[in-house]
Homo-oligomer: A and B are copies of this chain.
Amino acid sequence: MSPSPPAVAPEYTLAATLGFELLEVGPERATGRFAADDRVKQPLGLVHGGAFAAFAESLASVATYEAVASDGLIAVGLSNHTSFLRPILAGTVHADGRRRHRGRATWLWEVDFSDDEGDLCAVSRVTLAVRPAPGG
């Protein structure tokens, strides 16, 4: 049986709305980027803290989901803790995620964000629950 279509077409999701781009998505490492456009900024011109948090959440969720879906499991976000170290005003925000834990019931990812100079600008820790898919 084929899976249900997504409830929201990819081009209308938060990730698309904010211009998030996933590059590598694997079970142990996941990377991506987004442009420091107005749509991810707060009024003073800095990338909004929520953009880092949201990107980390997307990256970790997609990577975990793709790793467990074939076992009839889904990934559900439990928590997201993002610390902001250095503002980004322009250019591209680069994200590099590493899976730190693959448990029976929870996965944990850490995502580093850097600017075009390679300076570390934010770090996220994302914890996800892995559960049987509803009706799976």
Bound state CA distance, A15 and B50, in angstroms? 9
Q: How many copies does the complex hold?
A: 4
- Please state if A127 and B41 are interface contacts (CB–CB under 8 Å): no
Q: At the interface, is chain A mostly helix, strand, loop or mixed? A: mixed
A53 cross-chain contacts in B, Cβ below 8 A: 49-50, 53-54, 57, 80, 82
- Please state if B41 and A8 are interface contacts (CB–CB under 8 Å): yes
A63 contacts partner chain B, Cβ-Cβ < 8 Å: no
**A6, A42, A57, A101 pick with most chain B CB within 10 angstroms:** A42
Supposing A7-B41, A81-B80 touch, asked if A48 and B13 sit within 8 A by C-beta, the answer is: yes
A40 cross-chain contacts in B, Cβ below 8 A: 14
- Please state if A50 and B48 are interface contacts (CB–CB under 8 Å): no
Name 23 interchain pairs, CB-CB below 8 A, sorted by A.
Answer: A6-B43, A6-B44, A12-B39, A17-B39, A18-B18, A42-B61, A49-B54, A50-B51, A50-B53, A50-B55, A50-B80, A53-B53, A77-B84, A78-B84, A79-B81, A83-B101, A85-B103, A85-B108, A100-B120, A100-B123, A101-B123, A110-B110, A110-B123
Besides A51-B54, A81-B82, A105-B105, 14 new A-B residue pairs in contact (Cβ under 8 A), listed by A number: A6-B43, A6-B44, A6-B45, A7-B45, A14-B41, A14-B48, A15-B42, A15-B48, A49-B61, A50-B50, A50-B80, A53-B57, A79-B79, A108-B123
